[in-house]
Structures are given as structure tokens and as C-alpha cells.
Structure 1
């Protein structure tokens, strides 16, 4: 094929399609013309690729067709109804869909933390192998309580929020590999158990629970939700059921993205509690009460809105229009 002659013969059609693709508004006649030109240029691209695949021309025609397709199909418009649907359907459905995984993760980790803490209290010699006496005294008298007051409340809330969001994102992103999530959870449990055991041994259990519970209940629940969802992605790869492994991981991964967005909002709440309530002069019972109310509100949210959404077949995945088609499998 004489490529130069082909370009000369069809350049006018390509230019016209480019012009129509760049217009902000199209009349009915122009829209029909653009559709007709789109089909012709698609045929031209196919012929060029088959007979004389010149890379620059192929790239130009491919880009032109992409712009025309976007112009004709339009773009997804963001509306507040999308936000409402996410908060009332998608996010709670994803939480409810993965509830067995994160509730099991929560139960195992809390039990492990208490067992490790009890073992440390029952074996005082173990404490000296972890920290020197001066380090223990510094932790008990200053560092643990001072951590919550060393920064201004506003900046501390942002710092805590970003750190916790990063941990939950890691649990979700590394979930398909399984082992990294277990390692992150183990590190977290050991840290809480060691500090709690040391504070208990030195008679400061009231200070430990008075400072950790107001924000810690909901904060750790979020971490366990992310870890449970991550492990569910891993299990979908191991045991996909009637789906292909690619389909199973894709479905669970898309639901995990919904969890990541929603948990970022919940962690903002925990960051505000940790910055403004935990170090406040409120009585211990009042501070812990705030944490209990936040945790109960979250669980109520999951088991009401989440349950209702699940009954309608929602799993936290994208709506069918955004999900794409899935090839049938046996």
C-alpha cells in the first residue's frame, strides 16, 4: 500500500473527526457525522495496521479514535448521590461482606495480646531482657502519657490519621500475599502487649487503659477490618470457588478499595478522638465512654446498613456498569 497516497486520500476525514472531537457542543447532525467518521477511521486504522503498520500513524489514529470515543460516550459525572450511596450502601456492604474475616482477626489478636501481656506480668525477668530499668521507668513515668500531649492537638490528629491510614492501606495492598499482613498484625500485638504488661507490672494499668481505650477500640477495629479484608483477598487467590483466580481477586480487591476509602473516614474520627479526647482532663470513665460509644456506633452501622445492603445483593463491589463484563466459567 502506498502510505503517502493513503494519508492524502483520508487526511480530510481524520481532520474533521479531530475537529468534532474537540467541540464542546455538537448538534444532532454533527453527532451523527462524528459516529460515521469514527467507524471509517477505525477501518482506516485496521487497514494501516494490516498493510503498512507505520508506528507514528498508528499512534495518531489510535489517539484520535480514543478522543472521539470519549467525546461520544461522555464521562461519568460525580454527584452527591454517589457519596450518599457509598456511605449508606457500598461501604457498609463491604464491611458486612467481610465481617467473619475481620471479627475473627479481631478476636484472635485481642486474645493474643492479653495472653502475651499476662505472660510478661507472670515472668518479670522477661521485662529486663526487653528494656533496661531506666527505660522501663521512663516509659512508665513519662513516655506513655507524654506521647499524647507532645504535639498540638490539630497536628497530632493529622499525624495519627495519616499513620493509621497507611497501616490499613498496607494491610489491604499486601493482603494478596498473606504473610505480610500476619507480620504487621504480630508487630502490633507485641507492641500493645509489651507496653500493657509493663504498665500493669508497675501499677499503672489504670493509666494504660484510660489512655488506650478511648481511641484504641475503634482504631484497632479499623486495622483488623483492613487485615481481615486483606486476608480474604489472599484466600480468594488460594480458593476462588466457581470463579477464576483473576475474577476472585478482582472482586475482592474492588471491595477492598471501598473499604480503604471508608476506613480513611473512620480513622479520621479516631484521630480526632486520640488528639482531643484521650489527653483531655475529662474523667477516665468519660473518656472511655466516648470510645465505647464510637465503637458501638461503628458496629451498629455495620450490622444495620450493612445487613440491609447485603440482603439486596450488595457486596461492596462496583456497580455492574463500572465493573465490566465477566466471561462465564465452568
Structure 2
């Protein structure tokens, strides 16, 4: 006799249909995990020591992450209320989406971009407006500005764009801001800013765009360049009243004392970490150059990852990498993101990439072979 199906609580239909976030698969054995844009270097000894001596876990953390906020406020010459710290920059994205957007509103972002963006609008109940990238995988800022309506509540701009890699130029972004109404929140998601070597890239903090345009909030994270992905800590710089709204929608006490201590220790060791970032950026450039030499049409890579526009062959090619012990991130129908991992992984990536590119049709957008 079969067991009857239980009667369950009603779930919003759009949430029931929303796929859960799917992180990069873990690596096993001697495989390389190149699917999550993590920093491949082990934590610095000074950061591990900060964790060892961190506040006891039987006490709640400081809900405001006050010590880290003060440190970042001094770093960027803002008041502490102009800094918001949360459990990763994606948490702040959700908080700002909830603070600005509700049913009847529109949230604009480029596509393809960070895979968490679609869920932000859906969870808030707003309408998502996806603006296609340009043929060279960049944000189409004029098209994004043209998509703004009286219902637009929030715009997200990711630079360098995850997963495709190109930056948003400073001049183009400033022109974009002149075309966007000041009542619309513009989130500049700079999770990979430390890896950027292009001098023309927008720098929301260095150029203090958040002061010139109070509707701009700049996001950064300690997960990538600083290597604290497992501790979940990121921050935003912007107008205090906008950040107050994010603080109001956030889950209290979500930043642990251990994460705050590790972030402060990382800032103390920034010169060492910057050396590692430079090594990753050099490895990225070498990887991108090798992929192009093998025959791939690789977009400008300015994060800690490269993009293969594999199109309809994405899953098939992703399987070839998987079988070679390379855990990459395939996005079905679009392409494959490959994180810059250990030094030893580079040659293996290039070997597999060269072996599959020649099987692409001659007119394939990812193929640069003659």
C-alpha cells in the first residue's frame, strides 16, 4: 500500500519554480577544482593565527562588525555608517534588492552575468529585466540605460563580469550614470576588482563614484582576492541611508567574529596577499593567451577566471574537462567558466581545451581557428 503524499504549506509559485543556487562541484582525488573562482593559495599564517585566537564561539558576534567597519571607513575616508558588512557581497545584493524592489518594480542586469542575479528579483517579487551582453561579452550600457522605465528600482552592473571576464570602462560607466535617474539604485558589483590590470576599468571606490552619485553602492568581498571564501564576508560602500535600508533587511548576527577577525588580519597582511593576486593575474593572462593560441575565442579576462563561449557544445566539452580531472563550471547553452587555480592545472587545461576546440563547427562563435 503506497504512502499518501503529505499536505504541505503553500509556496509562492515563482519560488517553487526557482532552481536553487548550484555551486561549483567539489574535486576529488587529484582533480583540480576550477569551478568556484576560489583563491588557490592556502591561508596566510597570520590569518590562521587570528582565527586560532578569535573570540569564543559561545558568544554572539558584534552585529555591526564594528571593528572591521571602522577599519574600512578609515581606508576609504568615509564615516562608519557609510560601510556595511555582511555574510558575503551576495548577501548585500539580496538585502538591497529587498530594500528597493517589490511587485510592480523592475530590476535590470546584464545577461549572462552572475547566476544569483535572477533570484534576487524573484525573491523580492519584482520583474527581472535581462539585457544581453555585447558580442564580445561586455555589458551593453547604452541598452541597459534604454531599458530603464518609471518602474525601474535597481540596476546591477558586474565588473569584471562573472562569468565572461570583461570590465566596464570608467568613462562608459560615468556616462551611464548620467543617463540613469538618481532615484534608481545602481549596484556596482566589484567582487573581482583586485585582479583587474586594465587601467581603463571602472573603480567605484578609487574614483569615489558613491560620493558623486549617492544612488551608487559599491560592493567588494574578502572571498576572492583575500581568500576567505569559506568564512563568508563582504562589504559595501555607499550613502548611509541606502546602507541603512540594507541593514534593515539583513539577517542579524550573520557575520561571525571569526570572519571579522580574519578580514582584519587580511587587511594587515595586504601586501603579501597582493603578491598572490599578482601571481594569479599573471597566471590568468598566460592561460587566456594559451587558450587563444589553441584556437579559442576568449573574451578579455580581468577576473580570476577565463570564459570559453562553447555554446551548444558546453555540456559535452565540460564533460571532457571533467574526465581529465578538471572540475570547471559549465553554463548550458552558453559557455564554460574556468577558474585560475593551482599552477599545475594550467597545462592540463590547455591540453584539454586544444583537444576539443577543433571539433567545433567552423562557424562556431567560440572558435577562432582559420
Give the TM-score of the pair, scaled to structure 1. 0.26
Higher relative CO (Cα under 8 Å, sequence separation at least 6) belongs to 1
Bigger fraction of residues in strand? 2
Give the TM-score of the pair, scaled to structure 2. 0.24
Could you say which structure has the larger radius of gyration?
Answer: 1
